[in-house]
Amino acid sequence: MNSKNRTLVVAIATVAAGIAAVAASAGDAVVRQQGNAFSPNSVNLSVGETVRFEWTGGNHTVTCGIACVPDDVFRAELNSLNPSFEWTIPAEAFGLDVYYFSESSCPQNGSMGGVIVVNPTPRCPDYNGDLLVDGADLAFLLSHWGTVGQAEIDSNPGVGGSDLAILLGHWGACSN
C-alpha cells in the first residue's frame, strides 16, 4: 500500500471513529435545577435516550405531571442526599410530550417545570426490515443525503450528519 492510500485509510478510520463517538453520546440530556427553575426547561429526546436531572441547591423534586398534578410516571427528590435522577425514555412515550415539575414550587410559586419532547424517531434505523443496521441501510441513507422524507432519522429537516451518526450508533442487530 502506498503512502497516499495509507493516508486515505487513516483519514477514513479517524472520521468513522469520530462519528461513532458522537453517536454514542448523541441524544442524552442534562437538566439542572437552578433556583426555582429547570434549565433548559425543554429537551428533545428519542426512545431509549436518557435525561439526567441535577440538583444545585434547596429541596426540590422532579415529578412527572402537568400543573402540579403528578401522574406517577416518575418522581424523585433533588437535594443534597439525592443530587441527581436519571430517566430513560420508554417505548410507551414515543411521540409524546412528557411534562415535569418540582412539587416544592406548587402552587404558591407557580409551577417550576419543563417538558421532554419525545421525538417520533425509530429506535433502530433498519430501512429494509432485516433486523440489522448494516451496509444496505447505510447505502439507503447516503442515497437520500440532503433530502427530506423517508430516510430521515432525527427531527432535523433533511438527511445529514446527525442521521448518519444515529445510524452508525445503532450498527449491528436491532433490539426492536
Q: What is the pLDDT of residues 64-113, one digit of tens each?
A: 998 889 998 999 999 999 999 999 988 778 778 899 999 988 876 566 88
Q: How confident is the model at residue 23 (pLDDT cuts 50, 70, 90)?
A: very low
Report CA-CA distances (Å) from 67 to 61, 94, 100, 105, 112. Answer: 14, 22, 9, 10, 9
Q: What integer pLDDT is reported at residue 149 of this predicted model?
A: 73
Could you tell me which residue, 76 or 17, shows the higher pLDDT?
76
- 117-166 pLDDT, tens digit each: 887 655 678 888 788 999 999 999 999 999 877 777 776 678 899 889 88
CATH number of 29-119: 2.60.40.420
Q: Measuring CA to CA, how many Å separate 82 from each of 30, 46, 106?
A: 15, 25, 20
DSSP state of 133: E
Amino acid 153: pLDDT: 79
24 versus 81: the higher-pLDDT residue is 81
State the pTM of this model. Answer: 0.57
Check: CB of residue 24 under 8 Å from CB of residue 40.
no
Q: Is the pLDDT of residue 176 over 70?
A: no
In the chain, domain spans: 3-26+122-173, 29-119
**Does the pLDDT value for residue 15 go beyond 90?**
no
Q: Where are the alpha helices (DSSP H) in 26-134?
A: none
Residues 6+ apart with CB under 8 A from 167: 23, 125, 133, 137, 138, 141, 153
Q: How distant, in Å, are the alpha carbons of 39, 47, 53, 147, 171 from that of 125?
A: 30, 12, 28, 16, 9
